[in-house]
Structure 1
Amino acid sequence: METTSTIELLLNRLKALQSSAASYLVPNIWNSEETGASLQSPAPWFIGRIEEILQTGSSTPAATFPENWQKDTVVYNLFVRFGTAFDHNGDGSISEKPLPEGFRETGTLLKAIALLPYIKKLGANTVYLLPLTEIGTANRKGSLGSPYAIKDPMKLDPMLAEPALDLSPEILLKAFVEAAHLLGMRVVLEFVFRTAATDSNWIEKHPDWFYWLKNDVPQSSYGPPQFDQDTLTRIFSQVDRHELAYLPAPTEAFKEQFAPHPVTVTKTNEGIQATDANGEACRIASAFSDWPPDDRQPAWTDVTYLKMHRPEEFNYIAYNTIRMYDEALNDPESFNTGLWNEISSIIPRFQEEYGIDGAMMDMGHALPPLLKKNIVEKARATRPDFLFWDENFNPTSEIRDEGFNAVFGSLPFVINDIIYIRGLLNFLNKTGVALPFFGTGENHNTPRVPFRFPKEAAGRNYSAFIFTLAAILPTLPFIQSGMEVSEWHPVNLGLNFTDEDRTNFPPETLPLFSPAAIDWKETNTLPPLTSYIQKIIAIRSQYLDTILSGDAGSIGIPYVSHEQLFAIKRTAEGRSLLFIGNSNMHEPITGGLEFGMKTGVLEDLISRKPHSIVNHRLEATFQPGECMLFLLPTEN
């Protein structure tokens, strides 16, 4: 079988390494059904994983994915630096420095390649990678920094390479994509276009692409603009009505903090020095959460917003300049054209260099619509089936018509509230679902599903419940790395966390910023969900056309006799599927629902156990978090 040159290069480089002693611990679950870890010699172990890919993979070129391949997408979300990290020397910590053999304990692209057969076996066919790009060093959060502090969007983080190989992370990303394609899997990268590191490589040549603060503005007093309650009410009212002309601006005192353009930048031994149009010293303005305008999240000290528009009267950071754009900024004369052109060229360069299959657009909801359109059109010019996901929270026809295949959606952020889920699905049943959304109870910015009950069976039960529920909706089933082993520790404290959580998990303890690893070895003392996930994905595949229907009326919510039992009836393509699940994670619940037929037997597609209908009623006892799926006769 022919292999691609980058895979050959990687394999030959590994074979050239002298075999070291078996002193490199590897979690068993990466290559088997077992928990625990075993000692390996690193180079031979990696050779074995790559040869497995070459032997089991297909030689079909990646470009020959079947037409409309996006419809069967099942996503595995991997933050490489964290998701493939492991305590390989068994000393109880994850070192930032490579081991004596030259292999890292933090996650690398080599380890991500080795993990591909595991991900495929789990049932995923698309790997979604959080940003891999070079990270800024200024005001760095934690010891490794945030992957969203993009220093150079065309360079990869050197920490993702293995020093023993003497290969760049760029070479390893090529090998990763090639390996995924050999296994029939697709690769989607997350791109950050709205923000950059406060020490971005763009600053020196393009100071006009950034917002600048006057140097005499104290960092302690800088933050989001303050609005009184009447102004906040007006802002929300105008935005809700999409009336974006003359949006209320911040006070003059707030705007006066920002340095006027043009800014002149000089590089010195101490770093970058800058002066504004008045010859006064200035510095890059760090970012903060802009929406809602009364949000009080801590400032994002390591990133800054890119300046999408040039008019000096809008030379400040606020909700109306970086997200809910004032109507005056629709004028093409206001566009920061050089920046827009640079941003629009990034994905095509990644397509050409690495052969990626799709892009997730970070903060897509905060990009100017015309810029988003340009990004999509340029990427699709050479590959019409290129996948686009938008970090947006509204699966509407408008987002679909912009060229996006899916949105982050509402479900990930509210899934833990079963009452809200019922209301959300009632709404979607009336309106229809124009665009798939991510079917998950967690992502790297939200609490893990088991977060409120770590290392308890309730957390595992809840993960299984939510994954099953999401899998029978018109979603993209989404597995955040670690979900399958009931990982509970948060990656980042972005949404739905309390002040107490922020006290208990400071940034230096979070995997988004510092060395950490998923509990791959002990799997949080609970049996992994791997087999269960495989089963649910297989059932979904069998009834995919019915499940993917977004038509109004296709998501019915039948009455169930117990309030903690949750039922959904999916009807489309001449078939009906019934989901019933116990939303109580601690206690069994007995209940049932009515059917049109008087008697009969239905088989649960998950357990394969029969359940009888007697006098038009199915009655069953559901264990904590247990779900059942039934294919209904046509008359029901």
Structure 2
Amino acid sequence: MIFVAAALVVLNSCSSNGSEKSVTNGKVEQIKHPEWSKNLSIYEVNIRQFTPEGTFNAFIPHLPRLKELGADILWIMPINPIGELNRKGSLGSYYSISDYLTLNPEFGIDEDFKNLIKTAHENDLYVIIDWVANHSAWDNPLVNEHPEWYQKDTTGKMISPYDWTDVVAFDYSNRQMNDYMLNAMKFWVTEYDIDGYRCDVAGMVPDTFWLRVRTELDKIKPVFMLAEDEAPRHHAAFDMTYGWEFHHVMNDIYKGEKNANDIEKYLHKNDSLYPSDAYRMYFITNHDENSWNGTEFERLGEGVKAFFVLTATVPGMPLIYTGQEAAMDKRLEFFEKDAVDWNDYPMADFYHQLFELKKNNPALYNGDFGGSWKRITTDKDKDVFVLLREKGNSKVVSVVNLSAEPLTFTLKGDAYTGDYTLLYTDEKVKLAADQSLTLPAWGYQVYFK
């Protein structure tokens, strides 16, 4: 959902909702991750805009291509029917759910979705679906059948969160409402064999509910859970949270309001707040950013590739959104049909090589599966960010020029020294102590061994 980040931060900081039992030494205890998630990246699928047809069946032929791309967790935006009452636009918001137990008929029927999941699994892909637990459409039958399940103002009228006038907010103080939502989430795991959920505005739903959900879903199969929220406490129930702050740091660097030193500050702050095994999701775009704040090219200009190299090499999991590998430079309509022009996927190899490096080099694995990080300082630290990731004999050194000028600079020390392979060229290179390097404006190099 579209949301005001600052408002969510306030909500997050004011609500603990009973997760204290999962906190030790000032940090939440990270829920155990499914083993299969340790080295994967994630791809956000917008079924409506992915193909001209906008259906599950039209999307299925893309699965082998996405497997080749290398982002092996598919997050599919909401698949449920969309409400008509107070609908925004002609097709409505994906996040206005009129029935939690059926499929959006515009996308297909049960057999189609089951075939999508089966084909994805046959391609060694994992599928999580978007879940909207905080609110429903106004014409969801629950509104009339169980009005006591919804929040009301002082006059007794049901409430829409913020300016989301097409939806009405649930009241999680009602135990029956909690039970219904839990059972609905169990339904899609048991009946369709999905692998988990991305949970919309997770910070607006009580933590006690999410803890219960995770416990019950893991009894069915090991699931993967992504929270659309940044609060560290969510890692008691979720594998991964959004890295919104890092996203804004990157945007601000391109605007000249921050510099490379702010990346190091962010990473240290992250380490101080989150469990070491927490997965953080990093991105240069997603459905909200694309539609409401601009494409990655609008916000990051010539720095698009440089900033994605950062998202793929800092500790965390990189996200790619529908159309990103096509270098799509248009804002997709949110409430209307607006299919992607795939344009022969000009950036597919760029993303593919980073995803494959992450998958095959333990230094870049997720959470505690991955390696440590260390910033290598230079004589131009405001403009250059050099990151060393290391686990055992595996090393990755990413070097990024975060300025609009070509730069020659010197790496300090010798922690990074050794023989490496250069990503994208397979050239064998030696990095020596006090190595001098030159990069073009917004240039990057990734060395690995």
Partner of 2:214: 376
2:47 maps to 1:80:
yes
2:318 partner amino acid = P
Query: Is the alpha carbon distance of 1:543 and 1:599 closer, same or farther for their aligned partners in structure 2, counting shifts above 3 Å?
Result: closer
Give 1:366's match in structure 2, choosing from 194, 200, 204.
204
CA contact (8 A) 1:142 1:513 kept: yes
Partner of 1:544: 362
User: Cα offset for 1:71?
Assistant: 0.8
2:48 partner amino acid = R
> What 5-or-longer segments of structure 2 have no aligned partner?
1-32, 254-258
SS in 1 for 2:377: coil
2:171 maps to 1:307:
yes
SS in 2 for 1:629: strand
CA contact (8 A) 1:451 1:490 kept: yes
Q: Tell me the alpha carbon deviations over residues 74-126 of structure 1, each in whole angstroms, 9 at most, x when there is no partner.
A: 21110101122x3xxxxxxxxxxxxxxxxx3xx11111111111111111212
2:95 maps to 1:148:
yes
2:142 partner amino acid = W
1:139-538 to structure 2, matched below 5 A, reads 139-161=86-108, 169-212=109-152, 256=154, 258-259=155-156, 284-288=158-162, 299-309=163-173, 336-383=174-221, 385-394=222-231, 396=232, 398-400=233-235, 402-410=236-244, 411-418=246-253, 419=259, 420-429=262-271, 433-447=276-290, 451=295, 453-454=297-298, 459=301, 461-491=302-332, 511-521=333-343, 528-538=346-356
1:377 partner amino acid = T
Partner of 1:604: 422
Query: Is the alpha carbon distance of 1:406 and 1:597 closer, same or farther for their aligned partners in structure 2, counting shifts above 3 Å?
Result: closer
CA distance in 2, matches of 1:547, 1:380: 23
User: Cα offset for 1:442?
Assistant: 1.6
2:164 partner amino acid = W
CA contact (8 A) 2:364 2:370 kept: no
Partner of 1:573: 392
CA distance in 2, matches of 1:354, 1:628: 42
CA distance in 1, matches of 2:416, 2:362: 29
User: Cα offset for 1:199?
Assistant: 1.8
Q: Percent identity?
A: 23
How many residue pairs match? The answer is 406
CA distance in 2, matches of 1:363, 1:597: 41
Partner of 2:436: 619
Query: Is the alpha carbon distance of 1:608 and 1:623 closer, same or farther for their aligned partners in structure 2, counting shifts above 3 Å?
Result: farther
1:121-136 to structure 2, matched below 5 A, reads 121-136=68-83
Partner of 2:7: none
SS in 2 for 1:177: helix
1:568 partner amino acid = L
CA distance in 2, matches of 1:150, 1:549: 33
User: Cα offset for 1:522?
Assistant: 7.4
CA contact (8 A) 1:109 1:173 kept: yes
Query: Is the alpha carbon distance of 1:171 and 1:518 closer, same or farther for their aligned partners in structure 2, counting shifts above 3 Å?
Result: same
CA contact (8 A) 1:75 1:128 kept: yes
Q: Tell me the alpha carbon deviations over residues 524-570 of structure 1, each in whole angstroms, 9 at most, x when there is no partner.
A: xxxx1101111112222221255435599932222122232211122
Q: Tell me the alpha carbon deviations over residues 319-361 of structure 1, each in whole angstroms, 9 at most, x when there is no partner.
A: xxxxxxxxxxxxxxxxx01101100101211112211111111
Query: Is the alpha carbon distance of 1:355 and 1:453 closer, same or farther for their aligned partners in structure 2, counting shifts above 3 Å?
Result: closer
Output the aligned Cα RMSD.
2.9
Rg (Cα) greater in structure: 1
User: Cα offset for 1:576?
Assistant: 3.7
Which structure has more relative contact order (CA 8 Å, sep 6+)? It is 2
CA contact (8 A) 1:430 1:553 kept: no
2:316 partner amino acid = T
CA distance in 2, matches of 1:601, 1:360: 40
CA contact (8 A) 1:582 1:624 kept: yes
SS in 1 for 2:98: strand
TM-score, length-scaled by structure 2 = 0.82
TM-score, length-scaled by structure 1 = 0.59
SS in 1 for 2:353: helix
1:451 partner amino acid = T
